[in-house]
Amino acid sequence: MTLRIVESPREMRKLAETLRAEGKTLGFVPTMGALHEGHLSLVRASRGECQVTVASIFVNPTQFGPQEDFERYPRTFERDRELLEREGCEFLFAPNRAALYPEGFATAVRVERMTDRLCGASRPSFLPGVTLVVAKLFNLVRPHIAFFGQKDYQQCLVVRRMAEDLDFGVEVRMCPIVREADGLAMSSRNRYLSVTERTQARVLVRALVEANRAYLSGERSAERLIDSMRDVLETVPQARVDYVEVMDAGTLERLNRIEGKAAALLALNLGETRLIDNHILGEALDY
Amino acid sequence: MTLRIVESPREMRKLAETLRAEGKTLGFVPTMGALHEGHLSLVRASRGECQVTVASIFVNPTQFGPQEDFERYPRTFERDRELLEREGCEFLFAPNRAALYPEGFATAVRVERMTDRLCGASRPSFLPGVTLVVAKLFNLVRPHIAFFGQKDYQQCLVVRRMAEDLDFGVEVRMCPIVREADGLAMSSRNRYLSVTERTQARVLVRALVEANRAYLSGERSAERLIDSMRDVLETVPQARVDYVEVMDAGTLERLNRIEGKAAALLALNLGETRLIDNHILGEALDY
């Protein structure tokens, strides 16, 4: 079966309505394109669980700040289309900007509290832009399950909160981070890295491995785990650290002592590129 | 056919999905109960246009400010139920507060710009509360058409904007104001009025009649139309005026000279009661 490309929101809505009326389970993989193995793992997860998979490609302007990389964000539509087709994805929703944000657009969808920290603190447009566009996409695609990557951990939790709070009836599934052979978390932004930066970027996973090792050895002080990650990050002086945190994995509250499930979360800038990574402490991480 | 009452959001969602899958056109009349002829006219409009009508009753806490009348807002569920049944309404969705706003709720849905004036200026919680609850209700009831009363003119435009911007695929229909014999616009809050205040409340429609008369005589200066309404309002010194405006009927922008369709809009307080009214200039208004 070939991949069918849908550009018009109206057509997407009709299609979703028809598929739902036929009793099909719809899986949805929203992306900004520049697809890598991380995205494709989401398509596979959807294909494994749902009868029909819709991916979307839309580089969403509202989630980029004025100084951020909206203009240079990689756009590789033809290759993305081929990759999705090869995975057996049935539909690709690829609207243009004017179709989603016509003149006079004036609505905001925000999640409070959980968005004031981590990426939300350094990129104030990011999470409100995501919840806005995902609300729109959920209304057009009407999926039963939506698949997001754990790499954007805060985004996953925020989108899940929004979907529950607004009664979308969409289950938000968080799928494991896919990593390169050396451990670097896959990201469309990795292609911005120079050869040197690409090597330096390994410091993210190395810091997480170190925190995980300490955690597995019994360390439960969030502060000491954070310090252990900072020590690793300092070995690459070019890395400008944005945040290093250990937080409750469900609420993203800061912790003193870890008792339940906790996430270690990092963000840094290397040259012009912002990189993030995270890990649920105690889970396997062998690099 | 008897009216079926649905309390659970989950059950409402299932029901809507089933009805849509059967190809039924769903009409929706969201209310806060304390139903009057205005609400019933919306049910009739829905019955005339849709195959199934769902009304909702939910006194939405998020649209009341801390000093407002949430606690004393009239609750007349048994009578409302009877009225809806008599009108042939098929379903009544009546969730409780915890079902719509469980602990941890953190999402906001807002419309910018058009909400900073009129009722939005004096009641900052009102419109964000409305867009939030209506977004939730739209997701649960999944109507094709939603019916709102013109009495809350700004609310209608804001909800329509939200529905369009978030791609709900819901048509927002604005239905004419229903008035008492003496012209007072029907409102659940009219029952707060003392006998004296009830007489004084006529000043709202009298002001609109005066502006309409001037408009029909050729007056196109918004300022002079506003002054003519103020002159009428001043005949009731107990009326504490909140706003008197003449605005573009589509955008709610202030006007100097009226060229297109314009709305006259009023709000005032009489004792403990806030009353609003409006009129599209040039349309019939005979009281």
Query: Which of B17, B106, B166 is opposite residue A161, by nearest beta carbon?
Result: B106
Sign, Cα dihedral of B139, B140, B143, B149: negative
Each residue's pLDDT tens digit, A157-210 = 999 999 999 999 999 999 999 999 999 999 999 999 999 999 999 999 999 999
Of B170, B165, B191, B184, residue with least CA distance to B29: B170
Element (H, E) at A262: strand A262-270
Contact A169 B112 (CB under 8 A): no
At A21 the three-state DSSP class reads helix
Mutate one of A10, A138, A139, A160 to test the B interface: name it (highest B CB count within 10 A): A139
Angle among Cα A65, A71, A74 to the nearest 5 degrees reads 115
CA distance B171 to chain A (A): 14
Residues of chain A neighbouring B162 (CB-CB closer than 8 A): 107
DSSP A254: B
pLDDT for the residue numbered A186? 98
CATH 3.40.50.620 in chain B, residue ranges = 4-175
At A253 the three-state DSSP class reads coil
Mutate one of A10, A161, A165, A168 to test the B interface: name it (highest B CB count within 10 A): A165
Residue with tokens 């949430």: B70
Instruction: Say yes or no to pLDDT of A1 above 90.
Output: no
pLDDT for the residue numbered A220? 98
Contact A165 B106 (CB under 8 A): yes
Residues of chain A neighbouring B140 (CB-CB closer than 8 A): 167
Mutate one of B115, B140, B165, B252 to test the A interface: name it (highest A CB count within 10 A): B165
From CA A58, how far away is CA B192, in angstroms rounded? 51
Q: Percent of chain B scored above 90 by pLDDT?
A: 99
Each residue's pLDDT tens digit, B242-267 = 999 999 999 999 999 999 999 999 99
Bin A88: left if φ > 0, else alpha if -120 < ψ < 50, else beta. Answer: left
Contact B106 A106 (CB under 8 A): no
ipTM, 2 dp: 0.96
From CA A282, how far away is CA B139, in angstroms rounded? 38
pTM for the full model? 0.97
What is the average per-residue pLDDT within A39-57?
98
A119, A156 contact by CB (below 8 A): no
B29, B39 contact by CB (below 8 A): yes
Instruction: Say yes or no to pLDDT of B109 above 80.
Output: yes
CA A5 distance to own-chain centroid: 23
A86, A145 contact by CB (below 8 A): no
Which residues of chain B approach chain A closer than 8 Å at the C-beta? 9, 13, 17, 20-21, 23, 100, 104-114, 131, 135-136, 139-140, 161-162, 165-169
Residues of chain B neighbouring A171 (CB-CB closer than 8 A): none
Each residue's pLDDT tens digit, B18-71 = 999 999 999 999 999 999 999 999 999 999 999 999 999 999 999 999 999 999
pLDDT for the residue numbered A144? 98
Phi and psi (nearest 5°) for A70?
-55, -45
pLDDT for the residue numbered B238? 97
Identify the CATH homologous superfamily for domain B188-280. Answer: Pantoate-beta-alanine ligase, C-terminal domain (3.30.1300.10)
From CA A107, how far away is CA A254, in angstroms rounded? 31
**Closest CA in chain A for residue B134:** A166
Residues of chain A neighbouring B139 (CB-CB closer than 8 A): 166-169
What is the average per-residue pLDDT within B84-101?
98
Query: Which of A9, A136, A167 is opposite residue B140, by nearest beta carbon?
Result: A167
Query: Which of A23, A104, A111 is opposite residue B106, by nearest beta carbon?
Result: A111
Residues of chain B neighbouring A109 (CB-CB closer than 8 A): 107-109, 166
Query: Who's near A33: CB < 8 A, 6+ residues apart?
Result: A57, A58, A59, A74, A75, A76, A77, A80, A188
B177, B150 contact by CB (below 8 A): yes
Of A74, A159, A54, residue with least CA distance to A111: A159
Instruction: Say yes or no to pLDDT of B160 above 90.
Output: yes
Query: Which of A100, A108, A114 is opposite residue B112, by nearest beta carbon?
Result: A108
pLDDT for the residue numbered B16? 98
A155, A30 contact by CB (below 8 A): no
| A31: confidence class by pLDDT, cuts 50, 70, 90 | very high
Which residues of chain A approach chain B closer than 8 Å at the C-beta? 9, 13, 17, 20-21, 23, 100, 104-114, 131, 135-136, 139-140, 161-162, 165-169
Query: Which of A23, A139, A169 is opposite residue B168, by nearest beta carbon?
Result: A139
Identify the CATH homologous superfamily for domain B4-175. Answer: HUPs (3.40.50.620)
Q: What DSSP letter does each residue of chain B carry, written as one string?
A: -PPEEE--HHHHHHHHHHHHHTTPPEEEEEE-S---HHHHHHHHHHHHH-SEEEEEE---GGGS-TTSSTTTS---HHHHHHHHHHTT--EEE---HHHHS-TT--EEEEE-STTSSTHHHH-TTHHHHHHHHHHHHHHHH--SEEEEETTSHHHHHHHHHHHHHTT---EEEEEPPPB-TTSPBP-GGGGG--HHHHHHTTHHHHHHHHHHHHHHTT--BHHHHHHHHHHHHTT-TT-EEEEEEEEETTT--B-SB--S-EEEEEEEEETTEEEEEEEETTS----
Contact A13 B113 (CB under 8 A): no
Question: What are the C-alpha distances in Å from A252 to residues A238, A241, B66?
Answer: 28, 19, 29
Of B127, B10, B58, B107, residue with least CA distance to A165: B107
pLDDT for the residue numbered B138? 98
Residue with tokens 């990650």: A229
What is the average per-residue pLDDT within B88-115?
97
Q: Give the mean pLDDT of chain A.
A: 97
From CA A132, how far away is CA A107, in angstroms rounded? 8
CATH 3.30.1300.10 in chain B, residue ranges = 188-280
Query: Who's near B18: CB < 8 A, 6+ residues apart?
Result: none
Residue with tokens 């360390």: A219
**Residues of B with catalytic function:** 39
CA B113 distance to own-chain centroid: 19
CA distance A168 to chain B (A): 6
| B184: confidence class by pLDDT, cuts 50, 70, 90 | very high
CB atoms within 10 A of CB A191: 12
Q: Which residues partner with B108 through β-bridges?
A: A110
Query: Which of A21, A140, A166 is opposite residue B135, by nearest beta carbon?
Result: A166
Residues of chain B neighbouring A161 (CB-CB closer than 8 A): 104, 106-107
